[in-house]
C-alpha cells in the first residue's frame, strides 16, 4: 500500500503542484486548506507524513501542529514545513525539515523518501 502524504496549504497552485509531485512518485495524498480543517482530516486519513505551510488564513500551521501534538495517536507523524516565511525552521521545533518557498522538488522528495520510504 502506498504511503500517504497530507498537504496542509492554502495556496491552490502549491497544493496541485505537491499533489502531482507526490502522486507521480508513488504516494497517495490528502489535503487540508488550513489548520482548522487539518486535525479532522488527519483523524480520517491517518497520513504517514504531513507537509505544512505556516501562514494560512483560518488557522496557522504552528497552531495546527500544537493541536496535533496533543493527540497521542498522531503526535509522532513527521512534518515537513514548506513556507514562504523566513526563519521557518524555528516555527515547528520537531519538524524533520523546513523548506522555504520556492523549494527544490528533488530535495523535498529526498527528505520524504528518507523519512517514510517509498
Residue 107, domain member (yes or no):
yes
| pLDDT tens string 94-109 | 899 989 888 999 999 9
Measured from the Cβ of residue 15, the count of other Cβ atoms closer than 10 Å reads: 19
Residue 51 lies in a domain: yes
| Count of CA atoms in the C-beta half-sphere (13 A) of 106 | 0
Q: Which of the four pLDDT bands, split at 50, 70 and 90, describes residue 87? A: low
Establish if 118 belongs to a structural domain.
no
List the CATH number of the domain containing 26.
3.40.50.2300
* Number of domains, the chain: 1
Question: Tens digit of pLDDT for each residue in 25-47?
Answer: 999 999 999 888 898 999 999 99
Q: Is residue 75 part of a domain?
A: yes
Count Cβ atoms below 10 Å from residue 111 Cβ, excluding itself.
19
Q: Which three cell numbers stand for residue 11?
A: 495556496
Residue 30 resides in a domain: yes
Q: What is the pTM of this model?
A: 0.93
Q: Is the pLDDT of residue 61 over 90?
A: no
Domain of 91, in residue numbers = 4-113
Mean pLDDT of the chain: 91
Using a pLDDT cut of 70, give the percent of the chain over it. Answer: 95
Amino acid at each position: 500500500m502506498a504511503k500517504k502524504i497530507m498537504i496542509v496549504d492554502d495556496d491552490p497552485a502549491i497544493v496541485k503542484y505537491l499533489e502531482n509531485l507526490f502522486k507521480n512518485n508513488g504516494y497517495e495524498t490528502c489535503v487540508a486548506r488550513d489548520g482548522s480543517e487539518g486535525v479532522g482530516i488527519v483523524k480520517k486519513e491517518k497520513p504517514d507524513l504531513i507537509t505544512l505551510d505556516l501562514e494560512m488564513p483560518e488557522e496557522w500551521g504552528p497552531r495546527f501542529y500544537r493541536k496535533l501534538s496533543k493527540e497521542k495517536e498522531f503526535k509522532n507523524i513527521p512534518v515537513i514545513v514548506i513556507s514562504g516565511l523566513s526563519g521557518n525552521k524555528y516555527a515547528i521545533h520537531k519538524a524533520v525539515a523546513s523548506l522555504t518557498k520556492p523549494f527544490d522538488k528533488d530535495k523535498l522528495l529526498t527528505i520524504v523518501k528518507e523519512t517514510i520510504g517509498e
